[in-house]
Amino acid sequence: MFKDADLINVYSDYDYTIYVPNVNKLEGDYVLKPKIDGEPYYIPVLWRDIVNANRISNRIKAREIRFEGDIEAEAYKQLRIDLVREKDTYTREQIETMILNPSDEVLEKIVTIRDVKTIETILSQLIALKNTNQFFIAEKLEMYIRARKEELSKGLRISELEITPTENIDLAVVEDIEEEVEVEEIEVAPVVTKPVVKQVAKAKAPIKKTTPAKKK
Amino acid sequence: MENKIELSEVLAQDPKAMLNWAKNVCQKVELSEAEKAISTEVNGFVADAWKFGNTQARESIAQLIGKIIEPEVFGEPNEILSQIFTESSYGEFDIVKITRSPKNTLIARQSAPRTGNVDKSYIDISVGTAYEEHLQIETELKMSDLRRDGAFGVATLSLMAIEEFNRTKFKSMLNYVDTLIVNGGENYFACTGTLTKTAVDDFTGYLDDNCLNGGNPEVVGLSNKIRELSTAVGVSDFYSEKMKDELNSTAKLQVYRNSFLVPIKAGAKNGKGETLLPNDRLFGFSGIIGEMYTKGEMRTLVTNDNQNETISLKFTGVEFGVFVDKIEKVAKIVIS
């Protein structure tokens, strides 16, 4: 249980400075500096100011401002933030995973977001990752994010975007790989079961051509 | 009959005559002799149009509206836009290529005296893309309205079209600038819930630091946010008596830390009912950031529908583009 006068270590999870107001204006406000080489820059903030910030802003809920590791769960509990129920917010880590591993589920998540701020964060994180020139970023994902942002800025909360599923895997190839794996397993299997299973495998794949190299 | 005039003569003398006439008619100011003559002339076309469905008359109406609108939409840009963009214009089918002024990235390195080589450094000439947009308004004039209002209806319609074009242009340009600044840069300031003293000071300080050619940077925002900025700094402790007087009388400051504060009225909305800027952010510009251009010329097309007793008007060809080459001269505060 934190008291009003307790100092809590918080930090900005993103690469920009976040200004947090102080309840007492004469004391000046808190400046949460960006991370340095991925290391959080902790600033002690009075608990009463955290409560105030959470009252007037979305940044704690959106986990742009984060708490030092071991006290985070307790702080969320006391601020009445139920992360299971908060479906529209993602941490920076989650956003980056989403961007770097795009799939149809990720697109569905993006289309169901109802908060412009979240979409803007995702988009700017995407651009930032793209600018590093270290990753392949899916263009389809970027198009969906931009389209959703446009929808939200027009005030369309329930999306009209349709997701066309991506057929990025050639199914025939997958079957081939599975069969090859099966055959190889059989060769390692014990002698007694060997003939029976081999027949089954052959029945499954009558036209399969295994390369001579594999058979050896 | 001495009132009878030729509109083309009036326009040749003063291209803004028609606009002034339209403004005066809408504001119900007393008209000068020449303006009264314009009114009579316009009433003449309008009467021909609704009485006989006269083809020539509606063409004249279209010409007239076009002549009122075009110099305004294509000629003088919005006051703020002219402060942050240089202007030019191109032909309709021209392809615009961007010629950026090269960035000086040469590095002077220390070397051994009178001998030796150092690593080469190069000038950064990068290529950008322009953002272009084409605007068009389609509307209808009812002949019954023409019967009632005559010249007044024509004047109102043209002024409203100008207003809508200008607002949409302003909105789309600033939206484009907004998308250019992603979070993470040093020109991005994040406020928690409310503007604070340090944030506003850093923001205006950044603008002043990047205002290399002298002059004043400009902070542009909705009027409610400019008011918030004016009082965010702590009126009772940091302000001079003069600033307090100014705040008490006008609810906002003119200048803060060398930056002019430019409010866009939050009540001014475009036809869809959207404000011209997002509600939760302020933009800062330290000088000219790029170029804005118009392409081609405006066209006003009219179709008469005598069956439904309407005149359809189509204002099209309002094509403009913008490109920003000095993105470091733009900053924004986002309140969330």
What's chain B look like in SS3? CCCCCCHHHHHHHCCCHHHHHHHHHHHCCCCCHHHHHHHHHHHHHHHHHHHHCCHHHHHHHHHHHHHHHHHHHHHCCCHHHHHHEEEEEECCCCCCCCCCCCECCCCCCCCCCCCCCCCCCCCECCCCCCEEEEEEEEEEEEHHHHHHHCHHHHHHHHHHHHHHHHHHHHHHHHHHHHHHCCECECCEEEECCCCCHHHHHHHHHHHHHCCCCCCCCEEEEEHHHHHHHHHHCCHHHHCCHHHHHHHHHHCCCCEECCEEEEEECCCCECCCCCECCCCCEEEEECCCCEEEEEECCCEEEEEEECCCCEEEEEEEEEEEEEEECCHHHEEEEEEC
- Confidence tier at A92 by pLDDT (50, 70, 90): very high
Angle between helices B55-70 and B151-180 (to 10 degrees): 40
CA distance B39 to chain A (A): 41
Q: Do A62 and B196 touch (CB under 8 A)?
A: no
Cα angle: A63, vertex A66, A70; to 5 degrees: 125
In a domain, B129, yes or no: no
pLDDT at residue B8 greater than cutoff 50:
yes
Rounded Cα–Cα distance for residues A24 and A137 (Å): 45
Decide if B105 is inside a domain: no
Residues 26-65 of chain A whose Cβ lies under 8 A from any Cβ of chain B: 26, 28-29, 31, 34, 53, 55-59, 62, 64-65
Instruction: Tell me how far apart the terminal alpha carbons of chain B are, to the nearest angstrom.
Output: 66
Residue A16 has its nearest CB partner, among B184, B193, B234, at B184
A86 pLDDT tier (thresholds 50, 70, 90): confident
Does residue B187 sit in the same domain as residue B244? Answer: yes
In this prediction, what percent of chain A has a pLDDT beyond 90? 43
CA-based end-to-end distance of chain A = 67
Span B208-236, pLDDT tens digits: 999 988 889 999 999 999 999 988 877 77
pLDDT score at B233: 78
Q: Count up the domains in chain B and report the number.
A: 2
Q: Which pLDDT value is given to residue B160? A: 87
In this prediction, residue A66 carries a pLDDT of: 93
Instruction: Say if residues B316 and B299 touch (Cβ distance below 8 Å).
Output: yes
Q: Is A113 in CB contact (< 8 Å) with chain B? A: no
A13 interfaces chain B, CB cutoff of 8 Å: no
pLDDT in tens, A133-151: 899 999 999 999 999 998 9
* Of residues B183, B192, B202, nearest to A57 (C-beta): B192
pLDDT given at position B243: 86
Q: Are strands B310-324 and B290-295 parallel, antiparallel or unpaired?
A: antiparallel
Question: Residue B129 has what pLDDT?
Answer: 66
ipTM value greater than 0.85: no
Q: Are residues B260 and B275 in the same domain?
A: yes
Q: How confident is the model at residue B1 (pLDDT cuts 50, 70, 90)?
A: very low
Q: How far apart are CA A6 and CA A50, in angstroms?
A: 10
Give yes or no: residues B22 and B148 share one domain. yes
Interval A154-199: pLDDT, tens: 888 899 998 888 876 666 666 666 676 666 655 555 555 455 455 5
B168 occurs within a structural domain: yes
Q: Are residues B157 and B221 in the same domain?
A: no
Query: Between helices B55-70 and B17-27, what is the axis angle to 10°?
Result: 100
Mean pLDDT of chain B: 83
| Residue B220 sits in the same domain as residue B244 | yes
CA atoms within 13 A on the CB side of B185: 21
A3–chain B Cβ distance below 8 A for any pair: no
Q: Mean pLDDT, chain A, as a whole number?
A: 82
Flag whether pLDDT at A208 surpasses 90.
Answer: no
Query: Does one domain contain both B187 and B310?
Result: no
In a domain, B301, yes or no: yes
Q: Indicate if B200 and B56 belong to the same structural domain.
A: no
Does B115 fall in a domain? no
User: At B241, which CATH number?
Assistant: 3.30.2320
Whether residue B66 is predicted with pLDDT greater than 50 in this model: the reply is yes
B276 and B301 belong to one structural domain? no
In a domain, B49, yes or no: yes
Count CB-CB contacts under 10 A for residue B72: 20
Most confident of the following: A106-115, B115-124, B264-273, B297-306:
A106-115
Given CA atoms A137, A140, A145, A149 in this order, what sign does their dihedral have?
Answer: positive
Q: Do B192 and A62 touch (CB under 8 A)?
A: no
| Contacts of A89 by beta carbon, 8 Å cutoff, 6+ apart | A61, A62, A63, A115, A118
Distance from CA of B325 to the nearest CA of A (A): 17
Q: Pick from B189, B192, B237: which is nearest to A59 by CB?
A: B192
Nearest beta carbon to residue A117 from set B194, B234, B336: B336
**Sheet containing A65-67: order of strands:** A43-46, A7-12, A65-67
Query: Is residue B67 one of the residues assigned to a domain?
Result: yes
pLDDT at B308: 84
How many angstroms away from the CA of B187 is the closest CA of chain A?
9
Same domain for B150 and B34: yes
Rounded distance between C-alpha atoms, residue A163 and residue A140, angstroms: 10
A15 interfaces chain B, CB cutoff of 8 Å: yes
Domain that holds residue B273: 180-292+324-335
The structural domains of chain A, with segments of one domain joined by +, span 7-78, 92-153, 171-215
Which of A85-94, B24-33, B319-328 has the largest mean confidence? Answer: A85-94
Q: Are residues B274 and B210 in the same domain?
A: yes
